[in-house]
Amino acid sequence: MVQSLELELAAVTKAYGATIAVDAIDHRFSAGSYSCLLGPSGCGKSSTLRMIAGHEGVSAGDIIFGGSNITDLPPAKRGTAMMFQNYALFPHLSVLDNVGFSQKMRGVGLADRNKKALQLLELVDMADYAVRLPAQLSGGQQQRVALARALITEPSVLLLDEPLSALDPFLRIKMRLELKRLQRELGISFIHVTHSQDEALALADDIIVMNNGRIEQAGSPRVVFNAPTTEFVARFIGGHNVLQHQNARVALRADRLQVLKSAPQAADHLTASVVDVEYLGSTVNLALDADGAGDLTAALSEETFFQDPIEIGTTVFLKWKPEDVHQLAA
């Protein structure tokens, strides 16, 4: 089994000319954890990943891996491996030769590298396709081959840049489970770049939310989802309302809003009109126009909603528990 190590970014910065793509970020990726770098397009996720891989130089700061400074090491000497977004398989090489390629470059003999490549193909359930060319595989199968090819170097950290984005939604969910299973079985760290909140929530032990080259918030999916610390995170992670509450911006989960048809006795409620009703299967979302708070969303369980359906145009009253209000940084 490969040893798993802590990876630390210390004030890591990437500038492309005048563009600061990554702005002095600090983060520790725990050994053997599944981390997701999450954020909108252009926020610096891929640049961060490429600096960790060594495919991109660091403009300032240090990358420390298992106690050693690897900032200036070439990619093959770092103990990391990268799986690219487009898989980057060699079209003229068989699946087996694609997976064994890095071993060949390291001078490993044919028999040994084929044996190893086949083991990796078994790990990703692709041994039966060893003689095919990449063009003869589906997208999901190509992805498994790309995974096997990255893992053959026995990295302590596997870096994945939007690994699921080329797959259709059904396959994406299936492969998501497989990535998580692989990470658990191998016991190494995975650092996975995604712009999908669902993907990050489902996969990660730790989510690192990035915006504009900086880390907005890092923590477990539950902490990041339940208690966003900035307005950006509350809006990006979804499922939240951001509102002004006693001189502060706060986040309030859409599924924690109580929607009442008659006004409650207590003064601390909002009055709103129902602008739209969206049926989403397990939940029903109400779009609300609230007096003094603007547009809000309430997510009711399907069961709650259909016990007493609410029509568009109805006036409703909104309440919530104080503990469901999360203060946002100014």
Give the interface with Mg ion as residue ranges (CB under 5 A).
46
**DSSP 8-state class, residue 135:** G
21 binds, among Mg ion, ligand ADP, none (CB under 5 to 8 A by kind): ligand ADP
Task: With contacts defined by CB under 6 A, name the span among 16-24, 26-34, 110-118, 280-288 that binds ligand ADP.
Answer: 16-24
Is 41 or 265 the residue whose CB approaches ligand ADP more closely?
41
Q: Compute the distance between CA of residue 288 and CA of residue 275 in angstroms, rounded to an integer.
A: 5
Q: Which residues contact 110 (CB under 8 A, 6 or more apart)?
A: none
Contacted by 19, from ligand ADP, Mg ion, none: CB < 5 to 8 Å by type: ligand ADP
Identify the residue whose tokens are 């003869």.
136
CB of 46 to Mg ion, least distance (A): 3
Q: Which is nearer to ligand ADP, 52 or 99 (CB)?
A: 52
| Partner from Mg ion, ligand ADP, none binding residue 256, C-beta < 5-8 Å depending on class | none
Q: Give which of Mg ion, ligand ADP, none residue 47 binds (C-beta under 5 to 8 Å, depending on kind).
A: ligand ADP
Number of residues located near ligand ADP, criterion CB under 6 A: 11
Q: Distance (Å, rounded) from C-alpha 239 to C-alpha 324?
A: 13
Question: What are the tokens at 83?
Answer: 């799986």
Q: How far apart are CA 209 and CA 136, in angstroms?
A: 37
Out of Mg ion, ligand ADP, none, what residue 44 binds, judged by CB under 5 to 8 A for its kind, is: ligand ADP
Give the whole-angstrom CA distance, residue 182 versus residue 143.
Answer: 13
CB of 36 to ligand ADP, least distance (A): 12
Q: How far is the CB of 22 from ligand ADP (least distance, A)?
A: 7
* Least distance to ligand ADP, CB of residue 197, Å: 14
Distances (CA, A) of 185 to 1, 32, 81, 181, 182: 10, 10, 17, 6, 5
Looking at residue 265, the DSSP 8-state letter turns out to be: S
Binding mask 17-46 for ligand ADP (x = CB under 6 A): --x-x-----------------x-xxxxxx
Q: How far is the CB of 240 from ligand ADP (least distance, A)?
A: 22
> Nearest approach, Cβ of 128 to Mg ion (angstroms)?
33
Select from 207, 180, 212, 214 the least CA-distant residue to 193: 207
- The answer to whether 208 and 223 have CB atoms below 8 angstroms apart is no
Q: Which of 9, 172, 150 is nearest to 88 (CA)?
A: 150
Looking at the Cβ atoms of 46 and 80, the one nearer to Mg ion is 46
CA distances from 89 to 121, 140, 174, 297 (A): 14, 13, 21, 44
Judged by CB, which is closer to ligand ADP: 50, or 253? Answer: 50
The interface partner of residue 42, options being ligand ADP, Mg ion, none and the CB cut-off 5 to 8 Å by kind, is ligand ADP
Phi, psi of 271 (to 5 degrees): -105, 140
Q: Which residue, 188 or 193, has its beta carbon nearer to Mg ion? A: 193
Concatenated DSSP letters of 291-302: TTTEEEEEEEEH
224 binds, among Mg ion, ligand ADP, none (CB under 5 to 8 A by kind): none
- Is there binding between residue 47 and ligand ADP (CB under 6 A)? yes
Positions that interact with ligand ADP (CB under 6 A):
16, 19, 21, 39, 41-47
